[in-house]
Amino acid sequence: MKNNNLTLGEFIIENQKHYKYTSGEFSRLLSSIKLAAKIVNYKVNKAGLVDILGAAGDTNIQGEDQQKLDVYANNVFMQTLINREIVCGIASEEEDNYVTIKGKHGTNENKYVMLIDPLDGSSNIDVNVSVGTIFSIYRRITPIGTPVEQIDFLQRGNQQVAAGYVVYGTSTMLVYTSGHGVNGFTLNPAIGSFYLSHPNMSFPEDGKIYSINEGNYVHFPQGVKDYLKYCQEEKDDRPYTSRYIGSLVSDFHRNMIKGGIYIYPTSSIGPKGKLRLLYECNPMAFLAEQANGKATDGYKRILDIKPTELHQRVPFFCGSKNMVDKAGEFMAKYPENANY
């Protein structure tokens, strides 16, 4: 897409009219995300040259092995946001609990909380495949000036102020929405600026790509198995093409551009699914809906789910509207699976 030479900072300023609460705080928050992303990007791009590959030797709250870059990216985003006191609280997929930012004088007058997956797809790091960062921003519920509480983070996805991701690939892109469409910005590494390269991004209503880990096929619910058979039939415009990277950011980004569906369902080995509602599904669902796409848990809209815990998992069907609807038709034949 044609670059109209607008930097991310200029774009934010030009679109301040869209923000319901214009105070400069939101702009500074996005600038901090941009800075942290550039630092992580630098480390990702030299990962093979420094001791940053491999496992860190610890597990996160989900019981998953943490990679060295997981830990590094988490520290970079946490410290960048904490040091600038731009948010009053942060919840990270890599942390057991949320972090309260009290401010230099013991109180914090900021309005926003952030939830973040610092390095999505980290199992791909050692093999030089694209990874990403996912972020989600909400206005706090509790009174400004008081310490944040868990209810500030356990908000439905339809209350998000903004959400986005950074994909560290052949080029580094920051893609975000503040509720007025989706725009993508590509990093020019020569000068360190993000430029608007993909304005008004949108899912095609139909697609020919399905993204799912078919190695787990025997463990999937019957509705998913039936939909996969539908995708593989030689009929009409099918069979579809299977493309699965194993990095949600990368799979989502490709499907938004080319048209497709991403599925991570429940299974007999993961009865609630694998993806986290707050750190992955809600921000990606917000982006999808703002880009003419759709996101469900197979039965209901992701953004309407009321979170009950910070690290809650849900099944995830996301992508081109008609493909998500068709998958939903197959899932609806098995209503007993809706209560995962």
Q: Which residues are annotated as a binding site for substrate?
A: 120-123, 213, 244, 274
- Cα distances from 228 to residues 37, 135, 242, in angstroms, run 36, 30, 10
d(CA 263, CA 138): 26
CB neighbour class for 286 (10 Å; exposed up to 12, middle 13-18, buried from 19)? buried
Residue numbering of the annotated binding site for Mg(2+): 93, 117, 119-120, 280
- Cα distances from 52 to residues 48, 67, 258, in angstroms, run 8, 8, 33
Residue numbering of the annotated binding site: 93, 117, 119-123, 213, 244, 274, 280
Answer for the pair 77, 34: CB distance below 8 angstroms, yes or no. no
Q: b or e along 73-87 (b: 16 or more beta carbons within 10 Å of the residue's beta carbon)?
A: bbebbbebbeeeebb
Answer for the pair 175, 184: CB distance below 8 angstroms, yes or no. yes
Q: Quick one: tokens of 8?
A: 């991310």
d(CA 133, CA 279): 10
Q: Which residues pair with 99 in a beta bridge?
A: 90
The distance from CA 162 to its chain's CA centroid, rounded to whole angstroms, is: 11
Q: How many CB atoms lie within 10 A of CB 64?
A: 15
CA contacts within 13 A on the Cβ side of 154: 11
Answer for the pair 161, 112: CB distance below 8 angstroms, yes or no. yes
Select from 86, 74, 85 the least CA-distant residue to 27: 86
